[in-house]
Structure 1
Amino acid sequence: MKQRDASTIRPWHPYLVLLVAIILPGVGQVLNQTPLRGLTMVFFMMVLAMVTFQFAGPDVSVIGQFAGGIFIYALSVMDAYLWARVRWQQARYV
């Protein structure tokens, strides 16, 4: 059987990767064939969410209590879409 490497696999559509990244954090990077990057994003999302939760005062909203995790979540969604878009465009013109 012929082995397929990363350059021969057809990339996922960027909008599908965006939707998956919004619903399941870190999985967008897995679809982009960078699972270690996805695990790193999820790890830092959890760590920063716990840190901001511990340091936030009792009168802070839920968004404020988990602001660090939400920030990394937003970065991971944008990162997954950006790299999916780059891979999609490269596949179109190669």
Structure 2
Amino acid sequence: MSAAKAPPHPHLVLAIATLLPGMGQVMNRQPVRGLTFVFFALLLGAFTLKTAAPEVSFVGKMAGALFVWAIAMMDAYRTARLRRAIWERDRR
């Protein structure tokens, strides 16, 4: 019986997901899901950038992208935590 390779540590996945949206999903071996998050971050970022009033701050103009980025970070961490817990349980 071959031992399955350990999934990445959830904290590492979270750190990578914090730096680049969608990369946490790629580390979790979910590249299509990661690309989907990137697509929607770009889409909503462009939408809020174009529709925000001129006096709105840069963070306000990028609110759509930041929202999707935050959701992607939480999703990547949660998935990594679950995968790691299952891997540790199966090792016993």
TM value normalised by structure 2? 0.92
Shift of 1:9: 3.2
- Which runs of structure 2 are paired with 1:17-56 in the superposition (5 Å)? 17-56=13-52
For 1:42, the aligned partner's letter is V
1:67 maps onto 2:87 in alignment = no
Q: Structure 2, unaligned stretches of length 5 or more?
A: none
Q: Equivalent residue for 2:54?
A: 58
CA distance in 1, matches of 2:44, 2:85: 33
Aligned-residue sequence identity (percent) comes to 45
Shift of 1:10: 1.7
Shift of 1:21: 0.6
CA distance in 2, matches of 1:44, 1:9: 31
Q: Equivalent residue for 1:14?
A: 10
Q: 1:19-76 CA deviation, whole Å, 9 max, x = no partner?
A: 0110121111001010000000000000000000110000101111010000000000
CA distance in 1, matches of 2:12, 2:41: 22
CA distance in 1, matches of 2:6, 2:28: 10
Does the residue aligned with 1:73 lie in a helix, a strand or coil?
A: helix
Q: How many residues align?
A: 89
For 1:82, the aligned partner's letter is R
For 1:83, which of 68, 79, 83 is the aligned residue?
79
Runs of 4+ in 1 over 2 A off after TM superposition: none
Q: Structure 1, unaligned stretches of length 5 or more?
A: none
**What CA RMSD, in Å, does the superposition of the two structures yield over aligned residues?**
1.5
